[in-house]
Structure 1
Amino acid sequence: MFKIKSLVFIFLVFYSTINYAQFTDVINSNRPGQSMAAFSVGKTVIQAELGINRIIEKDKDVDYKAAIWNSDLALRYGVFFEQFELIANLEYQNEKFTAPGVDIHEGALKKVLIGAKYLIYDPEKNYEKKPNLYSWKANHKFNWRQFIPAVGIYGGVNANLAKNKFLRGSDIPRDEDFTLKGMILTQNQFGRYTFLTNIILDKFPSQRNSIDYVLTMTRGFNDRVSGFLEIQGFNNEFYKDHFLRTGAAYLVRQNIQVDASVASNFQASPNIVFAGVGASWRFDANYNEVMLRVPKEEKNDGKSKKEKKDKEKKDKEKKKRKDAVENTEFK
């Protein structure tokens, strides 16, 4: 039995150079891949990410075929503060399963996952990169700091509303009505490239609990187009597999993105091929900018408080001397 999720990936190519917190000038979507970014959408921001997917699964050893139409929806809302986000993931599946003597057509809400994400560490917060006024080489040397990732955590609850309609095989234990999901999320920015790592504990505690991962590299080609390459792995007692996924996203408007992706698993039994399209939309009319990182030096003319006080003191002394000279000349 396979496990396909049609959730999320990333359009984060515009993130790293800005000085504000979670919120970005353009939509920051997790589509069209399966990984989740460490950063949230921003306080009061509402975001919807919708996908429609076609999945074909074949197994020559067992002699069956499953033709699937799948739709997934992620609803994201930044609440309480900049680093916190509530997320609801819904997935509806319509499947036609055929095997010798078997012809089943099922449709149900396959997944309901309610959770929250919190950014626990941002390497750019309270950090200022000061230029070296005496060395061009020092200003252009390799930046090891980019290997320090932003880190987020996620926790959620799975609700088994489909009641195992899509679980084939009598030797595989059924899902519990409610299970937990937890993730550690990391994010690095390497120029135009963004690298995401998700380490996942899913369906815990149950006999089908799984330790999974997603690794995603995305690149911005220009201000509107980005592409990605992703590998995803599942590892539990009953199913072990890896998926390779690629695709692209296009920024239609500042708050609207469309995307497309394709994927396939590594093993031949079963062989799973996936193709999907989707769109993301953001409502941010209620957002107020919040400064979380240290302002650039230009904000205070590049001078510290002590330097400012010393300058003011010198200016006062200079004025006193000038006044004294003028008074002497008048007398």
Structure 2
Amino acid sequence: MKRFILLVTAIITFQIVNAQYTEIINSKRPGFSESPYSIGTDVFQFETGMFYKTNNDENLLAIPKTYGGELFFRYGKFLEKLEFDAKITYQNDEIKNPFGNNYNEFGVSELAIGAKYLIYQKEYVDKSKEVRSWKRRNAFDKSRFIPSVGVYAGVHTNFLSEYYKDDAVSFKGAILLQNDFSDRLVLLTNLIADKITSDDNNYSYIVTMTYALSERWSYFIENQGIFKENDNEFHFGTGAAYLFSDNLQIDASVRTNFFEDYSFVYSSIGVAWRLDKHSDEIINKSSPLNQLTKKRKKRGNFFSRLFKKN
């Protein structure tokens, strides 16, 4: 219980000069949305997983099964609010042939690089210091509807296997929002323009609600909408993550849609691990000198999707 209180306190403390880094790993997994916060400077993070997808399509030509793996590498450098990343995906698609013979296409289907930056960090009043009014201390803070805001820019390279090559490189841009409604409940909203300059360009949103069950366990629910020129898709997902140690997280998730003519089930398991070389300065406001600074790692918070700033 004492550890949990320390983790929650880290969310609302204001004496930390730079609020990006947390002592506990900040993973993007297992959902598809992304927080506006970075992982902190001098942190190397690897997030990898295996996925399996089955399809039920009434069309004669379809992809009934897909499986593969992905690696997402994240690195914080130069500024606490800045993060660089790279993603590579390898997959194997089983193609349904209208003449009854199935065949496979496989290889690197995605290789992208990008960066994100925190534009605005929402700060909250520490109501635990309100001693004159129990009602004020426990009332919902309406300012929590104001999100923290980040931006993302990336490039889809064309260093792909022959089955997945595009006409040329394309670009991705996103607005990343995060609302911390409580110490346990967080809402992430992503507004995305993907594959800009490509014939396969699309616009999408991802909304993810994450809740911490305990120090170690959290779960999420997620809705994703993808809008293309001639087709729209809406996906729904859920999953959970377990914090194995400060630098290691294990997760699992599943997602699907509910269309009559087309449906799929996507499942994934994965891990996130980091090499933490971060050090930072803080200002200790409780010190009589009020200006005393020292080097140490910041006290972090629990599960990456919830108590993180990533």
TM-score range (shorter-chain normalised) is 0.7 to 0.9
1:319 equivalent in structure 2: none
1:202 has 2:201 as partner: no
1:177 has 2:168 as partner: yes
1:16 pairs with one of 11, 16, 21: 11
Q: Aligned equivalents of 2:259 and 2:281: distance in 1?
A: 47
Q: Aligned equivalents of 1:18 and 1:253: distance in 2?
A: 23
Q: Aligned equivalents of 1:278 and 1:17: distance in 2?
A: 30
What whole-Å deviation, never above 9, does each CA across 1:293-321 have from its counterpart, x for those lacking one? Answer: x865x34599xxxxxxxxxxxxxxxxxxx
Q: Aligned equivalents of 2:220 and 2:241: distance in 1?
A: 9
CA shift, 1:57, in A, is: 1.6
Q: Give the structure with higher Rg (CA).
A: 1
1:227 pairs with one of 219, 229, 242: 219
CA shift, 1:266, in A, is: 2.8
Residues 63 and 93 of structure 2 are in contact (CA less than 8 Å); yes or no, is this contact kept in structure 1? no
Q: Aligned equivalents of 1:18 and 1:274: distance in 2?
A: 39
1:251 equivalent in structure 2: 243
**5+ residue gaps in structure 2?**
1-6, 291-310
1:270 pairs with one of 239, 262, 268: 262
Comparing both structures, which one devotes a greater share of its residues to helix?
1
Q: Aligned equivalents of 1:300 and 1:200: distance in 2?
A: 48
1:152 pairs with one of 150, 153, 168: 150
2:68 equivalent in structure 1: 70
Length-normalised TM-score, structure 2: 0.83
Task: Name the aligned partner's letter for residue 190 of structure 1.
Answer: F
1:279 pairs with one of 256, 263, 271: 271
Q: Aligned equivalents of 1:262 and 1:146: distance in 2?
A: 29
RMSD after superposition: 2.4
CA shift, 1:123, in A, is: 1.3
Q: 1:299 to 1:148 in 2, by over 3 A?
A: farther
3-state SS in 2 of match to 1:243: strand
What's the % identity of the aligned pairs?
36
Residues 82 and 115 of structure 2 are in contact (CA less than 8 Å); yes or no, is this contact kept in structure 1? yes
What whole-Å deviation, never above 9, does each CA across 1:127-151 have from its counterpart, x for those lacking one? Answer: 7769445333222222112212111
Task: Name the aligned partner's letter for residue 29 of structure 1.
Answer: S
Q: 1:280 to 1:188 in 2, by over 3 A?
A: same
3-state SS in 2 of match to 1:16: helix
Q: Aligned equivalents of 1:217 and 1:261: distance in 2?
A: 14
Q: Aligned equivalents of 2:265 and 2:170: distance in 1?
A: 28
**5+ residue gaps in structure 1?**
1-12, 167-173, 303-331
What whole-Å deviation, never above 9, does each CA across 1:205-252 have from its counterpart, x for those lacking one? Answer: 122211111000011000000000001111011431011000000001
Alignment length, in residue pairs? Answer: 278
1:162 pairs with one of 157, 160, 163: 160
Q: Aligned equivalents of 1:85 and 1:39: distance in 2?
A: 8
Q: For structure 1, which segment, 148-157 or 200-209, has the greater mean C-alpha deviation from structure 2 after superposition?
A: 200-209
Q: 1:95 to 1:65 in 2, by over 3 A?
A: closer
Q: Aligned equivalents of 2:193 and 2:288: distance in 1?
A: 46
1:108 equivalent in structure 2: 107
Comparing both structures, which one devotes a greater share of its residues to strand?
2
Length-normalised TM-score, structure 1: 0.78
Q: Aligned equivalents of 1:61 and 1:98: distance in 2?
A: 10
Q: Aligned equivalents of 1:133 and 1:29: distance in 2?
A: 36
